[in-house]
Structure 1
Amino acid sequence: MARLSPATRTAVGTTLAGTALSALSTAPHQLSHLFRGRFPAVAVTGMTGVGKTRLADRLARRASAESTVEVGSATMERRTRRSAKGKGFRFRVVPGDNAATRLGALDEVFHDDPVDGILHVVANGYATPRRPAGTTGTAVATREEQLAAELEDWTITSHRIASMALRRDRPVWLVIVVTKADLFPDGVEDAVRYYSPGSGSPFAVKLDELRSLAGGARLSVDVLPMCTEPGEASGKAARKDAGKRCSAMLAALESRMAQLSGHV
């Protein structure tokens, strides 16, 4: 067997060391990419009172704290869903109040550490009214006022989504989740149509603008109804049926998210 000269041995050693260092330097990126593939980040956005935390808790299979449900949260909340197959989602619930913490959370999920998908939660004008900070008494708001506030919130969020989509080298998915469907059981189809692209509604016009800015190939849009509670139907049979409908809606959302994220 031929002997290698000292110069050749040095060159081979340098090559092997360089290869090893290169592999080590790319390992964190590869591991991060693998992790994001198995646990994509999902922003849960929407105005206050639409049920973002309840939805994230149900998707993550955890119970909501009653205090959080009643008063909302001024800081971004995080949830993780893990399945038996080693896949899941990392949810980031963005505060709904127009405060500095909300704007900071929007910057984080759409700019600093961009998410892979968005669940934008709306409530067809049935969001739970929230009292302004420092006030007492029962909060009151008409459905028209809630729809107007919802549209204002969507305008701010959609601009952030468009900016993120333009910077990404792969498509971003968006699901408009119409919650509190148990409060308008006979109007679910109309509500879904109101929030769907091309319907001509004020919300749809803003959604069409977003798709135009981001580019159709960069942003996929789905609209799905949801109720996070079985409703207050009277009678055991009626409550059971309401519970089945809510469970079916949740299952449909989970199935669509799995498809969009490549989990199936």
Structure 2
Amino acid sequence: MNRSASRRTTAVTTASGALIASGALQALTSAPHRLAHLLRHRFPLVAVTGMTGIGKTRLVDKLARRATADDAMDAGSAVMERRTRRTARGRGFRFRVVPGDNAATRLSALDAVFHDEPVDGVLHVVANGHATPRRAAGTSGAAAATRDAQLAAELADWAITAHLLAAMAVRRTRPVWLIIVVTKADLFEGDIEEAVRYYSPGSGTPFGDKVDELRSLAGGARLSIDVLPMAVPLENSKPNRQLADKLLTRLERRMAQLSGHI
């Protein structure tokens, strides 16, 4: 082989090696992104928001098939809780439960789920004015509040969440879903439809008007909104078990549909 042919062979070999190395480097560089995309597709992030005493932890424990001690339920959590729901089909959800108390940890958790690592969906929990009254953090003893006061507190809490949710939705390249979960439906079983209507867009109610504002800010194509009732009675409470199971199945199916699992 002459020198010219040898140089050409060497150049081709070098170029091929460079291409292989470049391809391998690109594959390694893109691997974390692909893995993250696969993880988010199979296990989307879901923020669980709502005021204190509304039943967020109990709801997520039900969805994740786990249990939290009743004394922890009564006190509430001051930090963001994490739960994971796994199914036999290798899919599920990663829940981020935002504290309900208006404390620095709550603001930090809201910033985390709506800005630092934006979630794919939101379960915003309300209770038709039946949230469990709680004293401010650091104080003990029973608390009391009227249903009207609790409805007003729900509305104030929603105003903060809706603002952050709208800001996140307009930044995202893909749609975000929201389910407003009207929990404790076993306490107003005869008025479930009316309670759902109160929280629904286009209802003309104080809460419905705020949801309409959110839809206007975020854009209908960027945010889907559902309103579903839910009941999570105590584990030793046999009444309303059939209602609770029916509503849980409905909520889980809708979450699976919105996440592309079915």
Query: 1:172 aligned to 2:176?
Result: yes
Query: 1:262 aligned to 2:240?
Result: no
Letter in 1 for 2:158: W
Q: Deviations over 1:28-52 (max 9, x none)?
A: 1011100110000000000000100
Q: CA deviation at 1:137?
A: 2.7
Query: 1:125 aligned to 2:123?
Result: no
Query: 1:115 aligned to 2:119?
Result: yes
Alignment of 1:199-214 (within 5 A): 199-214=203-218
> What stretches of structure 2 of length at least 5 have no aligned partner?
none
Query: 1:50 aligned to 2:48?
Result: no
2:30 matched to which residue of 1? 26
> 4+ residue runs of structure 1 moved beyond 2 angstroms?
133-137, 230-233
Looking at structure 2, the residues matched to 10 and 155 of structure 1 have their Cα atoms a distance apart, in angstroms, of 62
TM-score, L = length of structure 2: 0.95
1:9 matched to which residue of 2? 13
Alignment of 1:80-229 (within 5 A): 80-229=84-233
Looking at structure 1, the residues matched to 69 and 235 of structure 2 have their Cα atoms a distance apart, in angstroms, of 19
> What stretches of structure 1 of length at least 5 have no aligned partner?
none
TM-score, L = length of structure 1: 0.94
Looking at structure 1, the residues matched to 236 and 204 of structure 2 have their Cα atoms a distance apart, in angstroms, of 33
Looking at structure 1, the residues matched to 100 and 234 of structure 2 have their Cα atoms a distance apart, in angstroms, of 24
Q: CA deviation at 1:159?
A: 0.3
Assess if the C-alpha contact under 8 Å between 2:101 and 2:137 holds in 1: no
Q: CA deviation at 1:65?
A: 1.8
Looking at structure 1, the residues matched to 48 and 138 of structure 2 have their Cα atoms a distance apart, in angstroms, of 26
Looking at structure 1, the residues matched to 66 and 137 of structure 2 have their Cα atoms a distance apart, in angstroms, of 28
Classify 1:232/1:7 alpha carbon distance in 2 versus 1 (closer, same or farther; 3 Å): closer
2:81 matched to which residue of 1? 77
Assess if the C-alpha contact under 8 Å between 1:75 and 1:94 holds in 2: yes
Looking at structure 1, the residues matched to 61 and 71 of structure 2 have their Cα atoms a distance apart, in angstroms, of 14
> Would you say how many aligned residue pairs link Structure 1 and Structure 2?
257
Q: CA deviation at 1:231?
A: 9.4
Classify 1:136/1:169 alpha carbon distance in 2 versus 1 (closer, same or farther; 3 Å): same
